[in-house]
Amino acid sequence: MEKISGFKASWIDFESGLYRDSFSISEDGHILSRPSANAITLPSNLVVVPGFIDEHIHGAAGFDVMDASATSLTGLTKALPQEGVTAFLATTMSCSDEAIINAIKAVVAFQKSPTPGAMIAGLHLEGPFLSKVHAGAQDPGVIRPFDPVSFAAYLSAAEGQIREMTFAYEENGKVGLAELLKNGVTPSIGHSDCTAELFKEGIEAGLHCSTHTYNAMRGFQHREPGIVGEVLLNDDVNAELIADGIHVSPDAIRLLFKCKKKENIILISDSTEAKYLPLGEYTLGGTPIFLKDGVARLKDGTIAGSVLRLDTALKNIHQWVPSYSFEDLIKLVTLNPAKNLHLDKTMGSIAPHKLANLTIIDHDFNVYATIVKGEVVYCKEGFCL
């Protein structure tokens, strides 16, 4: 893989809101403010933006995080740069403690000897401390209230790499929230039947993220706003969103964008191993899923994750929410998730001392190249740096 020393090209400075024209990259893959003597000049139609971050992804290209194997994690890291992803959270499913811990250990071992590709920036544990009322594609047979003993075992196996956890606040969630915050884990409400009043209590205590908003959660009613109502109303809650037009309708997406601040929306893929693959039968955390007409479902028809690409999500939002600027859209997959995960000191924007995780796109969000720590890990066919 080719190492890049710098760019003489248009890039967005999020702090100033202005476009800059050059920066260099250190030997160890960090951004430097001074220009590079060997900088690459890009065509004028291309822009260098921060690398995309997917904080909620189960699999792609035939590989699943719950496979708990270096082979699958390698496959994921090599596949995701084609859509501009430079970092992601390997996301688990509700399974037995043994299966979850095996997946955690596989991720931690992989991080110590990574292969070239998108970085695994940590783990997102989606369950098993969820609500059976909103199980979605999660296995209701293993869903249970927050269990400090099991969580301690997850923490021990993860060696500090759990970045986010989805849980149902009404299921012993007060204890769970305290444990998550104490250990620096971003708590996210999801697969939950929590009432609005109880959720407000959680928000006051530090519960500031909503997993795949609208999906698998208590919906809005005029006498009981539910989780959805409080997410729309409360400026302290970050909202994950699957912007494929299938999980959430374009009108519901427009409502979310009308209600939320620009810095509080995070685009995710929630993709499964079926992403990039033809129609057929696959698995999600070991459960059979069926890909047909662009939708992954369980046998009973329940939507099971997605096959969404983050570059496609950006194109969709550009179409459905035309008031958002190019810069605002880019933040939905870069700075916003970085801040939500407390990773913004190292990624999420192009700034001195941050990792040189970069995506080269045009203004239609087509990905031409992806760079991780200054190393080219993907180039579009026919395009060469």
> Mean pLDDT throughout 284-306?
93
Residue partners of 121: CB distance under 8 A and separation at least 6:
53, 87, 88, 89, 163, 341, 343, 347
Q: What are phi and psi of 65, to 5 degrees?
A: -55, -35
Distance between CA atoms of 195 and 226, rounded to whole angstroms? 5
Q: Which amino acid is at 46?
A: L
> Mean pLDDT throughout 372-383?
95
Which range of residues forms the domain containing residue 244? 52-344
Range list of H helices, the chain: 70-79, 97-112, 148-158, 173-182, 196-205, 226-233, 250-259, 310-320, 326-331, 335-340
> Mean pLDDT throughout 144-165?
98
State residue 19's pLDDT score.
86
pLDDT at 302 over 90: yes
Pair (155, 211) in one structural domain: yes
Pair (57, 41) in one structural domain: no
Mean residue pLDDT of the chain comes to 96
**Do 311 and 366 meet the contact criterion of CB atoms below 8 Å apart?**
yes
State residue 157's pLDDT score.
98
Pair (28, 136) in one structural domain: no
Question: Cα-Cα-Cα-Cα dihedral of 115, 101, 140, 249, to 10°?
Answer: -30
Predicted confidence band at 35 (pLDDT cuts at 50, 70, 90)?
confident
375-379 and 59-60 as β-strands: parallel, antiparallel, unpaired? unpaired
Catalytic one of 270, 293, 344, 362 = 270
Pair (31, 144) in one structural domain: no
Share of the chain above pLDDT 70, in %: 100
| Eight-state DSSP code of residue 299 | T
State residue 37's pLDDT score.
75
pLDDT at 34 over 80: no
Pair (383, 304) in one structural domain: no
State residue 12's pLDDT score.
87
* Ramachandran area for residue 329 (φ above 0: left; ψ -120 to 50: alpha; else beta): alpha
Pair (185, 295) in one structural domain: yes
**Do 130 and 167 meet the contact criterion of CB atoms below 8 Å apart?**
yes
**Do 296 and 13 meet the contact criterion of CB atoms below 8 Å apart?**
no
pLDDT at 134 over 80: yes
CB atoms within 10 A of CB 134: 20
pLDDT tens digit string along 314-337? 999 999 999 999 999 999 999 999
CB atoms within 10 A of CB 34: 10
pLDDT at 9 over 90: no
Question: Cα-Cα-Cα-Cα dihedral of 169, 170, 172, 173, to 10°?
Answer: 20
Token couple for 10: 């248009």
Pair (21, 99) in one structural domain: no
**C-alpha closest to that of 84 among 372, 373, 383:** 372
Token couple for 162: 């759990």
pLDDT at 56 over 90: yes
* Ramachandran area for residue 42 (φ above 0: left; ψ -120 to 50: alpha; else beta): beta
Distance between CA atoms of 225 and 194, rounded to whole angstroms? 10
Predicted confidence band at 149 (pLDDT cuts at 50, 70, 90)?
very high
pLDDT tens digit string along 66-96? 999 999 999 999 999 999 999 999 999 999 9
State residue 18's pLDDT score.
82
> Mean pLDDT throughout 251-259?
98
Pair (46, 175) in one structural domain: no
Distance between CA atoms of 289 and 128, rounded to whole angstroms? 19
**C-alpha closest to that of 231 among 207, 249, 210:** 210
Total of domains in the chain:
2
pLDDT tens digit string along 228-246? 999 999 999 999 999 999 9
Distance between CA atoms of 103 and 95, rounded to whole angstroms? 10
pLDDT tens digit string along 159-196? 999 999 999 999 999 999 999 999 999 999 999 999 99
pTM exceeding the 0.95 threshold for the entire prediction: yes
Distance between CA atoms of 172 and 168, rounded to whole angstroms? 8
**Do 31 and 357 meet the contact criterion of CB atoms below 8 Å apart?**
no
Pair (129, 191) in one structural domain: yes
**Do 378 and 78 meet the contact criterion of CB atoms below 8 Å apart?**
no
Share of the chain above pLDDT 90, in %: 91
pLDDT at 311 over 80: yes
Distance between CA atoms of 378 and 81, rounded to whole angstroms? 6
Q: Provide the 3-class DSSP secondary structure of residue 103.
A: helix
Is 270 noted as a catalytic residue in this protein?
Answer: yes
Pair (205, 329) in one structural domain: yes
**Do 114 and 158 meet the contact criterion of CB atoms below 8 Å apart?**
no
Pair (328, 368) in one structural domain: no
State residue 33's pLDDT score.
79
Q: How many helices (H) and strands (E) does the chain have?
A: 10, 23
Q: What are phi and psi of 103, to 5 degrees?
A: -65, -40
What CATH number does residue 178 fall under? 3.20.20.140
What CATH number does residue 46 fall under? 2.30.40.10
Pair (142, 44) in one structural domain: no
